[in-house]
Amino acid sequence: MLPPNLETPQEPPQVVATPEPQPVTTGKEGRDRISGIGLWLRDVLISVVASILIIMFLYQPVRVEGTSMLPRLEDHDRLFINKFVYHFESIHRGDVVVFHYPRDPAKSYIKRVIALPGDRLRIDRGMVILNGKMVDEHYVPEEFRDTKSEAEMVVPADAYFMMGDHRSISSDSREFGPVDRDLIYGKAVFVYWPTRDAGVVE
């Protein structure tokens, strides 16, 4: 007896995905791409080196020792000073500057410029009177003021009267007199450490 005919189920036709042709990079295109990356790396390297040189030659990191410039500058704050700015511009009232201590140039002090050469300065129970007008010293908190007075004086030519913002504890021009211009070697610019104090010095 012949076996019954068995119908074999037809499998659906298989769909084979044909890969799309990939773009072929020619030798010239490859070289151009590598050349572009090389130029980018070169520019980045030049930028990094230039930044380092600017910091090394224009700016100097210093550490604050003491609390005479509270509240803006705290003991052990680290900041950058600009060593060349005063070669190109004048020193202004209110600038925070670094200078060699007049009584011992091996030491450095950081204070605020209060009066310029030729200014008439008087201090009346802690209040600064400059050229006949009281100075609004917003950078000195009330709790840091003192009641000391100074007789009127004229700041000598090529010298600057310096004071710390924490008036009650600061050793400054009220004690050692105006500071000669050639002792001033930098302007405080930016606190970089600790991060809680980071920012521009004003």
Residue 80: HSE in the Cβ half-sphere, 13 Å Cα cutoff:
15
- Looking at 111, 170, 173, 187, which residue is catalytic? 111
The dihedrals phi and psi of 121, each to the nearest 5 degrees, come to -125, 135
**Rounded to whole angstroms, how far apart are CA atoms 137 and 140?**
6
From residue 118, alpha-carbon distances to 7, 71, 111, 183 in Å are 117, 29, 19, 18
> CA quadruple 191, 196, 200, 202: dihedral positive or negative?
negative
* Catalytic (active site) residue 107: no
* Catalytic (active site) residue 68: yes
Strands 199-200 and 184-193: antiparallel
- Looking at 68, 170, 173, 187, which residue is catalytic? 68
Mind telling me the catalytic residues?
Answer: 68, 111
